[in-house]
Chains A and B, each alone.
Chain A
Amino acid sequence: MGDDDPHEGQDRRDFLGMAISGTAAALGVMAVYPVAKFLTPRDDAGPRSGTLGKVDLFLRGTAKTVMVGERPALVIRLDDGSFRAFSALCTHLQCVVAYAPERKQIECPCHRGVYSLEGQNVAGPPPRPLDAFTVDVVNGIVMVSEG
């Protein structure tokens, strides 16, 4: 763009050419930052929605909550090491349910609704079972997804 036919206005033309190159270069650099940030993984965020972390850090007989997309999920690790995951919102009035390890059942603190480890509503006001989520252990990382 700078070495065209040699005509008048050399200074002006060069200036324009330089200005264009300069601005284009600046824009190129400005584009690098978002792309770099986009590609750099962040532990807490990132598209790894539903990532719970290392499976060894998840004790048997305990439960954790994790966001899967827009929905909170209750993930339980049973005594035999297997996983269950359900929507963490009670089907009655959408209170957040919790796992009760002593009684091996899922309980809602609002109206004493009780769900079995299969997510079935077994006692109290909940009208429907909890939606089940899928748990996979991929490369030692526990991942939860819908469906």
Chain B
Amino acid sequence: MASVARKWLADRTGSSALLERMRARQIQKNSVVHYIGAMLVFLFLLEVASGILLLLPYRPDPAHAHASLTAIVGRLPYGALVRGIHAWASHFFVALLVAHLSITLLLRRFKEPNELVWWSGLLLLAVGIGLAFTGSILPWSQNAYLQARVSSEMIGQGPLFGPWLKHLLRGGEHVSPWTLNHAFGFHTGVLPAATTMIIGMHVVFVQRRAKAPEGPTIPAHPDFTLRVAALATFLLVVIVSLATFAPIPLGSPADLREVITGEVRPPWYFLFLHELLRAAPPRLLGLESPKFILGALSVVAAFAFALPFIDRRGSRITMFVGAVFIVLVVLLTGHALL
């Protein structure tokens, strides 16, 4: 019965050809990067599904945003679960993005013929964090509003495009109700579309490389797909458990008139930057330290983009420097969290 259905579909979609190709295609055995990549795709799909569900009852204007979310979590059946999945999966998404990139860097997989893969990957990091950040603004809670302010302030210190980006994110000079509208547009329209396209390109680039993988391999189907399915199920179980037993609180509604006392912290993925800015002396090398630090980071980012050209052979120096950088970021984030 199942095989009849399968044949019916296969005849019409050409899926059998795809499956054959996948059976022939070999993937490196025990390649963590591949598994993390597959998990990232799974998480993205999960976010899109839960996001679409949340999109329907959510009201994106400042007067109603928080109230609509309160109602989703408090009154809509399984609303708390859907929102919890969406919130927790986003954290996993960013964490795995960083892990995926770090491992790729340390294994020096950016060298030829992987340049396009590397660049599309860097872009995915940017849009991924963009998605997480714009998403965190949408509840329009007091915390969300303050985090938006602090984060966009930091971004605004960047060189060249910094102030423009800040304006774009904020929808103006200051964080205002327009910020929410911009965040909504980015989070539900621009960024998901961009991410889908870039993921597509990334996967295609991975597939189309002329070089075959070195070392022991397994077929993409059914071995790899089976393992990915198992991992995805496991990840789903973890996320749903967290959503049920460790819900992320919504916080109180944003009050733009309230006087802010005490420190405001950006979301965890920006904490390393926040710590750096806090610990730095007022001026560094003749520039105001925020500008210096953001400028330095931009230089690092430019370097990362240029890596396939700068370091053609994938030397160990890159590995060490990369490792040091990653460890620093992790330590700073850990220090800020504790």
Shortest CB-to-CB span from B154 to chain A, Å, is 28
B57 within 8 A of A: yes
A37 within 8 A of B: yes
Q: Are A134 and B63 in contact, with the CB atoms below 8 A? A: yes
Closest-by-CB residue of A relative to B72 is A47
Q: Quick one: which of B68-117 are within 8 Å of A by CB?
A: 68-72, 75-79, 81-82
Q: Are A49 and B70 in contact, with the CB atoms below 8 A? A: yes
Q: Contacts A1-B222, A3-B3, A21-B2 given: A49-B76 contact, CB under 8 Å?
A: no
A26 within 8 A of B: no
Q: Quick one: which of B105-160 are within 8 Å of A by CB?
A: none
B226 within 8 A of A: yes
Bound Cα distance A4, B2 (Å): 14
Q: Are A46 and B253 in contact, with the CB atoms below 8 A? A: no
B64 within 8 A of A: yes
Q: Are B70 and A147 in contact, with the CB atoms below 8 A? A: no
List chain B residues, Cβ under 8 A from A4: 222
Q: Contacts A1-B226, A2-B2 given: A38-B67 contact, CB under 8 Å?
A: no
B291 within 8 A of A: no
A35 within 8 A of B: yes
List chain A residues, Cβ under 8 A from B57: 46-47
B interface majority secondary structure: helix
Bound Cα distance A90, B8 (Å): 68
Bound Cα distance A62, B94 (Å): 52
Question: What does the 1/0 interface line of A1-37 toward B look like (CB < 8 Å)?
Answer: 1111000000000000000010000000000001101
Closest-by-CB residue of A relative to B69 is A47
Question: What does the 1/0 interface line of B47-64 toward A look like (CB < 8 Å)?
Answer: 000000100111100111
List chain A residues, Cβ under 8 A from B274: none
List chain B residues, Cβ under 8 A from A2: 2-3
A102 within 8 A of B: no
List chain B residues, Cβ under 8 A from A49: 64, 67-68, 70-71, 75
Instruction: Give me 30 A-to-B residue pairs in the complex whose CB atoms sit less than 8 angstroms apart, sorted by A's number.
Output: A1-B222, A3-B3, A4-B222, A21-B2, A34-B77, A34-B78, A34-B82, A35-B53, A35-B78, A38-B53, A38-B77, A39-B56, A42-B75, A42-B77, A45-B71, A46-B57, A46-B75, A46-B76, A47-B59, A47-B68, A47-B79, A49-B70, A68-B67, A69-B67, A69-B253, A134-B63, A145-B63, A145-B64, A146-B67, A147-B62
- A residues contacting B by CB (< 8 A) are 1-4, 21, 34-35, 37-39, 42, 45-50, 68-70, 134, 145-147
- B residues contacting A by CB (< 8 A) are 2-3, 53, 56-59, 62-64, 66-72, 75-79, 81-82, 222, 226, 253
